[in-house]
Structure 1
Amino acid sequence: MGIKSFLASRRNQKKSSEDIPVKVSDYMTRKLITFRSDEKIEKVIDALIKYRISGAPVVNDKNELIGIISEGDCIKHISESRYYNMPADNKTVESHMIKNVDTIDGDMNIFDAANKFLESKHRRFPIVENGKLVGQISQKDILKAALKMKGQTWK
């Protein structure tokens, strides 16, 4: 005699929340520390230390992304100032920020974003919608997403 199943038909089962891919927008940081291109590098260094961050987006008055500045950019500034024996207090963000910034779509799957981190060696990606900066995803955010999911349905 065959084994009978006491479960109902599986044809019309609804997808559970575990079956829905996790989006970057679910884990991105929305409250960002940003800088303006005319701010002094020393202010950026103070903020990076104070808020324990490794970099931040640079925006204009319309909150449009125009660059990104990192600890590495600030260290480069310090090194150049020392090497050329130049004062370090007269440089602005604009002279040291990266202007060609890679971004990620907020609708991207979190695991595709993780792969993009691996390919690019970036530590963070800004998210832009309709030309405006709306958030940022970091490698740490990807790790938080993975911990929260704890290996359940890696889709």
Structure 2
Amino acid sequence: MGIKSFQGARKQQPNSSEEFPFKVSDVMCKDLITFKPDQSIEQVIDILIKNKISGGPVVNENYELVGVISEGDCLKQISESRYYNMPMENDNVEKRMIKDVETIDGNMNVLDAANKFLESKRRRFPIVENGKLVGQISQKDILKVAMNLKGHDWK
């Protein structure tokens, strides 16, 4: 007596992420909260709390990406300020931001971007075109796409 499978016919799954129709630029956030290098850490903390975000890109006057600032960077500043008994108003974004920022290509397939998130352990990636910040994609943006597709039909 043979083993019978009770699985019905399945839709053909795409062979690669190249068949997936969404690019990073299709789902990235374009309306960004950005920070300036000369902003105070206190201003950043206030903006992070009010907007319920965990960080954001830092841009210069030409809207070129120069860094990223996060809650963790702010926490580090608070901790050091307390430890060394230094006033927080002496510190600014430029002193605390991460300057070596990894970006992601807006033409990248969303599934490939998901893998990049998994490999890098980052929460967000800025997207730069012609030297200017044009958007940002977060892990949550990719989760939203997956939920909209219900995870069963990746075509």
TM bracket (short chain): 0.7 to 0.9
Structure 1, gaps ≥5 residues long: 1-18
Does structure 1 residue 129 correspond to structure 2 residue 120?
Answer: no
Aligned match of 1:104: 104
Spell out structure 1 runs of 4+ moving beyond 6 A.
none
CA contact (8 A) 2:56 2:70 kept: yes
Q: The residue matched to 1:53 in structure 2 has which SS? A: coil
Q: Per-residue CA shift, 1:7-41, capped at 9, x if unaligned?
A: xxxxxxxxxxxx55211111110000001101101
TM-score w.r.t. length of structure 1: 0.85
For the residue of structure 1 that corresponds to 2:128, the secondary structure is strand
Matched with 1:88 is: 88
Q: How many residues align?
A: 137
Structure 2 match to 1:5: none
**Secondary structure class of the residue paired with 2:69:** strand
Q: Distance in 2 between matches of 1:98 and 1:131?
A: 18
Partner of 2:39: 39
Q: Does residue 113 of structure 1 match 2:118?
A: no
**Aligned pairs for 1:136-147 within 5 A:** 136-147=136-147
> RMSD of aligned C-alpha atoms?
1.1
Q: Matched residue of 1:67: which SS?
A: strand
Q: Percent identity?
A: 70
- After TM superposition, the structure 1 = structure 2 runs for residues 51-90 of structure 1, keeping only pairs within 5 Å, are 51-90=51-90
